Structures are given as C-alpha cells and as structure tokens.
C-alpha cells in the first residue's frame, strides 16, 4: 500500500532476513507460526508469551506482497497467524480464499481502540464475515518547522507563499488522496464511482500542477526527506508520522502535525490463514500482545503505535510525548483510514501523477 509507514522503508531489506522454510512443516499443538512485519514480535514479547503459555512462537518476517504470495502458494497453509494491512485482505480473499473468518467473540475488544476496531471491521468484512482485527497503525500527514506551523495546517497549505520553494512531498497516491480531502472532497466515498473519482482527481491534478513552483523536490525515500528537513532546505512536507517523531526527537522545533482535513491512516491487522493449525494459539497471541504494557513494547521496537487502548501510557517518554502532541482525541477520530482499493483506480491515479510530473 502506498502511504505505508516510515519503517516500511527498511522493510524492503527484509527479504534478506526471511525465514522461508516453514511451508512444508506442520505446527505442533504447542507452536504458533506467525508471519509478520519487522518490529511486531520483539524478542522479549515472544519470550514472555512463551513463558506464560508454554507455546513456542516461530516468527517469519515479511511484508504484504510476501505474505500474499506465501499464503496464495499454499492455499492459506504454513502459518497460524498473519498480519496483512487492512486494505490488502478482502481483494486477496475474493481471489485466493486464503483466510478464515475471525471469531470476534474470542477477541478482547475492550483492549482495542474503538475507532480502529470499527474501521477494520468495515474494511475486512466480506459476505457478513470479518477477516481482520487491528494491530499496528500509522499515518501520513504534515511535518512542519515551528516557524511555519501556523501557516501550514492542511495539505494544500503546502502551496502557500509562506513556504514557497521549501516544500516536499511524494508524487504518489497518498498525496492525491490528501490533497483531495483538503480540497473538500471525499475520495474514499467516490471509490466505487469512477466518473466522480476522475472528477476529483482532475481537481487535484490542477492543484498539484499549480503547486509545482513551491516544491523543492519530490522526495522518493525517507532518508532523503529527513536530510532535507534537517538542513532546513525544506520547512514543510507531507510525510509519515514516525519520520516526524524521529526528527522531533532530534530537534523539538520540528514536529508531525495531523492535517485539519485528517491524517491518512493505515492499519496492519491480525488475520487467520484458512488452514491455520493452531487457531487457539493465534487468539492467545492477539489478546496477549494487545495488552497495553505489552503493546507498548511493540511500539518502542517498531516506532509505530498499536491499536491497544491505553498503550501510549507505557511507551517510552519521547515517543509518547511526540505522539500526544500530534494526536488529540479529535485528530484521532478524524483519521481517514484507507479502504480497500477497487480495480482500475490506481491506473487512473498513475496517469494523473504522470501528467503532474510532466507539467511545466
């Protein structure tokens, strides 16, 4: 998914660390085979779970594409629990039937942020059955220097004279989505109306072309953007929250801001592979890691917050304070969670991005 969290930049290197020998093995009754992202199963969390339950945890590091590929190849076998992003479940399920429904009654819902539970329920339900529950989340929004913070409060403010020549964002679909919301549109509501969506994208295209003189550069990698902001070449940018919090730890005058029209949110989930051999262990893991104190360890390791309610109380202080500065209750409730992308939209968006790139 575009708009993926900051740590996804490091995930591109995960392939070198993948543990791939699990397909042909069978789980024992006391084993949980977990396929997940880097940082989502810290060693100390795994050790505590194993000690408390007697269940051995085998962790395979992965990403969306790799999870889909592995589960598709085996018809949903080889793992007991997976953690795909919420917008990458239903389409895959329709095509490949690799997941089984979640028994929500076995999830301790009181431990989970209600808005995220609702968002994931809506985006992972198919034929009346739910296929995912929220685990870890993040957003893209604005990283601003305090000097311009009062003038850059939404995505389209990146086009204001106050930050001319000192702006950066990516030419990717999150920028299209963010600008659409800031222009007063609801692109997600138009997902299933191609004509309406095309009309919204036309408005965004015009805005982005008009905005080009403001852009120092279109950033393509996280390290590049961090450098541009550290040196002051860029004072306002559209980027991921974890990158903003990282910069804030280095320089308190830089911070991540949830835009007025809403940060764009992704959620990685818990999903049960269709041929999971230890479903009981999977539910035990979900309820274990969503305990606030345990979930905080995942945040400290990954840099991303979890859907665990109250976990921020236990996160290390600098990360907790940066998070609270970025998200009050209203900002949390205003997050625009990515729904599943219908076929054809990304092709349309690609053409818009190409025209913006080519425009003078």
Task: List, in sequence order, every residue forming a beta bridge with 236; answer none if it has no partner.
Answer: 144, 167
pLDDT tens-place string over residues 321-360 = 888 899 988 998 899 988 887 878 888 999 999 999 999 8
- Per-residue exposure over 254-268, b if at least 16 CB sit within 10 Å of its own CB, e if not: bbbbbbebbbbbbbb
- For the chain, give the mean pLDDT: 90
Q: Using 50, 70 and 90 to split pLDDT, how confident is the model at 72?
A: very high
pLDDT tens-place string over residues 97-131 = 999 999 999 999 999 999 889 989 999 999 999 99
Question: Which percentage of the chain shows pLDDT scores above 90?
Answer: 76
Q: Residue 7 has what pLDDT?
A: 45
Question: Which percentage of the chain shows pLDDT scores above 70?
Answer: 92
Euclidean distance between CA atoms 172 and 298, whole angstroms = 28
- DSSP letter string, 271-306: BEETT-S-HHHHHHHHHHHTSHHHHHHHHHHHSSEE
Euclidean distance between CA atoms 66 and 167, whole angstroms = 34
Terminal Cα distance for the chain, rounded? 29
How far from 264 is each of 61, 172, 339, CA to CA, in Å?
A: 25, 13, 11
Q: Which residue has the higher pLDDT, 1 or 199?
A: 199
Q: Using 50, 70 and 90 to split pLDDT, how confident is the model at 12?
A: very low
Q: Residue 345 has what pLDDT?
A: 87
| pLDDT at residue 203 tops 60 | yes
Euclidean distance between CA atoms 142 and 236, whole angstroms = 7
Q: Residue 13 has what pLDDT?
A: 41
Which are the contacts of 285, defined by CB distance < 8 A and separation ≥ 6?
A: 32, 34, 49, 57, 81
């Amino acid at each position: 998914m575009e708009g993926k969290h900051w740590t996804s930049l490091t995930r591109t290197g995960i392939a070198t660390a993948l543990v791939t020998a699990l397909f042909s093995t069978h789980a024992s009754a006391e084993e949980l085979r977990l396929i997940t992202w880097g940082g989502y199963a810290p060693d100390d969390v795994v050790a505590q779970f194993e000690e408390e339950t007697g269940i051995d945890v085998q962790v395979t590091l992965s990403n969306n594409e790799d999870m889909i590929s592995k589960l598709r190849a085996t018809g949903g076998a080889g793992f007991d629990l997976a953690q795909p992003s919420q917008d990458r479940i239903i389409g895959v399920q329709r095509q490949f039937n690799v997941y089984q429904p979640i028994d929500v009654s076995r999830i301790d819902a009181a431990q989970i942020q209600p808005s995220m539970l609702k968002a994931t329920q809506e985006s992972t339900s198919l034929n009346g059955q739910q296929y995912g529950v929220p685990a870890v989340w993040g957003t893209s929004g604005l990283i601003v220097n305090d000097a311009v913070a009062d003038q850059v409060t939404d995505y389209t403010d990146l086009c204001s004279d106050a930050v001319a020549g000192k702006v950066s964002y990516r030419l990717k679909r999150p920028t299209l989505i963010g600008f659409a919301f800031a222009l007063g549109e609801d692109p997600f509501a138009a997902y299933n109306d191609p004509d309406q969506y095309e009309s919204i994208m036309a408005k965004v295209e015009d805005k982005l072309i008009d905005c080009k003189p403001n852009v120092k550069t279109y950033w393509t990698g996280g390290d590049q953007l961090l450098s541009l902001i550290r040196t002051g070449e860029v004072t306002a940018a559209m980027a991921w929250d974890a990158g903003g919090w990282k910069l804030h730890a280095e320089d308190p005058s830089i911070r991540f801001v949830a835009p007025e029209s809403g940060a764009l949110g992704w959620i990685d989930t818990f999903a049960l592979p269709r041929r999971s051999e230890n479903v009981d262990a999977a539910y035990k893991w979900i309820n274990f890691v969503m305990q606030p104190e345990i979930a905080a360890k995942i945040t400290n390791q990954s840099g991303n917050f979890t859907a665990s309610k109250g976990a921020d109380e236990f996160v290390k202080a600098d990360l907790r304070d940066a998070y609270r500065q970025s998200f009050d209750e209203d900002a949390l409730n205003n997050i625009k969670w990515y729904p599943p992308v219908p076929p054809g939209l990304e092709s349309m968006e690609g053409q818009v991005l190409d025209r913006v790139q080519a425009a003078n």
